[in-house]
Amino acid sequence: MTAATGPSESAADAAPAGVEPRRLQASDIAAALRLSQEAGWNQVAADWQIFLDLGEAFGLVAVPEGRLVATAAILPHGDRFAWISMVLVAGDCRRRGFARWLLRHCVTQLLDRRLVPILDATPAGRAVYLGLGFRDCWSMRRLVLPRPIPSGEPEGAGGPAVRPLRSGDWPALLACDRAAFGSDRAALLRRLADRLPEAALVAERSGRVAGFLLGRDGRVMTQLGPLMAENEGTAQALLRHAFRALSPPLVIDLADRHAGLGRWLVERGFREERALTRMVHGRSTGFDDPARLFAAAGPELG
């Protein structure tokens, strides 16, 4: 991504007036973080660093002052698909086509690499993404726990053994994630485990990994996910242990298809904050296993 448009570019490819595009670097994290904070999002600097290290982040810089006014990021997961996220525009620069231009750029980048673009959309963003070739795949909802769950939560009868993640668990955990998520994202998962060890949990049944939970710290609340499990009882067992170790506010992006677990969370004080739709470019089917993927790592990570 060059700092300025070239003479051979079409009008459709040229950046909007008044801004120059460029790839973001570590020195841009503070400015990017200000944009996500302005939007009320939960990211911290370590989240932006993920995109710089494992993917790419792009920005539009106002001319001539050099202020970062818009961002977007891509995060490849293996060799089949990649996430698009962190589409942000400064409040005083909206409705100038910045977000749409960055989205188109990200889609083009991924298609050129033969990667299928995927994103998680809010209701407001969904209409824009439909116009760019994305289709609905499945829905989820963000649930937030604002206060502690009362103590004395009973263990589920006959449930799996839940314990902290150990270094020797990684091969089985990554195999579980590949089967449920649809691709290899080992580097990302290892980062999440380091970010929030208290939420790095494994459910074990008959000597095998039956599910796992990871999480990460956030600016205003702790994110739980990804959550992969062989069934709802295993997912509940993992979350029970996390609730004992972590202080609210907590947030989880739960797939609507697991309605039973959603009701269980609401009964414990979680409240719905917003709906999200997983969308895939050019197709309405994803790569994941719906039965085992209970909660996402977050809209920005997949």
H helix intervals, 23-169: 29-38, 45-54, 98-112, 123-130
Whether the pTM exceeds 0.85: the reply is yes
% of the chain residues with pLDDT over 90: 91
Question: Please, what is the Cα angle at 32 between 67 and 302, to 5 degrees?
Answer: 145
Model confidence over 187-211: pLDDT tens digits?
999 999 999 999 999 999 999 999 9
Fold of 141-295: Aminopeptidase (3.40.630)
Rounded CA gap, 100 and 88, in Å? Answer: 10
Provide the pairing of β-strand 68-77 with 201-205.
Answer: unpaired
Model confidence over 36-56: pLDDT tens digits?
999 999 999 999 999 999 999
pLDDT of residue 13: 77
Model confidence over 9-18: pLDDT tens digits?
444 578 999 9
Domain boundaries, the chain: 19-114, 141-295
CA 26 to chain centre: 20
19-114 matches 141-295 in fold: yes
Residues ≥6 apart with Cβ < 8 Å to 148 = 247, 248
* 301 close to 197: Cβ distance less than 8 angstroms: no
Model confidence over 107-134: pLDDT tens digits?
999 999 999 999 999 998 999 999 999 9
| pLDDT > 50? residue 139 | yes
Q: What is the mean pLDDT of the chain?
A: 93
* 251 close to 41: Cβ distance less than 8 angstroms: no
In order of 73, 76, 111, 195, 271, the CA distances from 82 in angstroms are 10, 4, 10, 22, 30
In order of 106, 137, 177, 298, the CA distances from 134 in angstroms are 13, 9, 24, 19
Give me 168's structure tokens. Answer: 């020797």
CATH code for the structural domain at 19-114: 3.40.630.30
